[in-house]
Amino acid sequence: MSRRLTALALWSILACWAGGIVWLSSLTPRELPEAAFLVSDKFNHFIAFAVGGWLAASALRVSRPQAALAGRILLGILLISAFGAIDESLQKFTPGRTGGDIYDWIADFLGAVTGALLTLTTHARLERFLTRP
């Protein structure tokens, strides 16, 4: 698969991920899936935003291979953390949801950091996939 198609796929999956997060945030507590309450709310935030952090940092790494590695990882963390803050603010407008929970956002931020840093171990495999004949 070409670098351009891989980048497009990663950005598209990231957009779907973001849409899914916004959709879940728009649900009232009664509409939320029961699975949302199987584990700690903060753990759910952490895992969801780790996925987002990985997707964002991977998309940036594939899209901009010439840019500094630290810059691509930090930008991925910043994008996903900012999205988490916006998401928490939007939840205030959902009936029955409080939103604006700083601890949810901290879990989002820590997940974004973890996911973005995971690209340090997964990117070599992705590069091998891109350079296959």
What's the pLDDT at 127?
A: 75
Helix (H, G, I), strand (E, B) or coil at 125: helix
Q: Which helix (H) or strand (E) holds 57?
A: helix 41-63
> Which tokens in the block code for residue 16?
């779907």
Residue 114: pLDDT band (50, 70, 90) is very high
What pTM does this model have? 0.88
pLDDT in tens, 54-111: 999 999 999 998 889 899 999 999 999 999 999 999 888 888 888 788 999 999 999 9
What's the pLDDT at 126?
A: 78
What's the pLDDT at 33?
A: 76
> Which tokens in the block code for residue 75?
């930008």
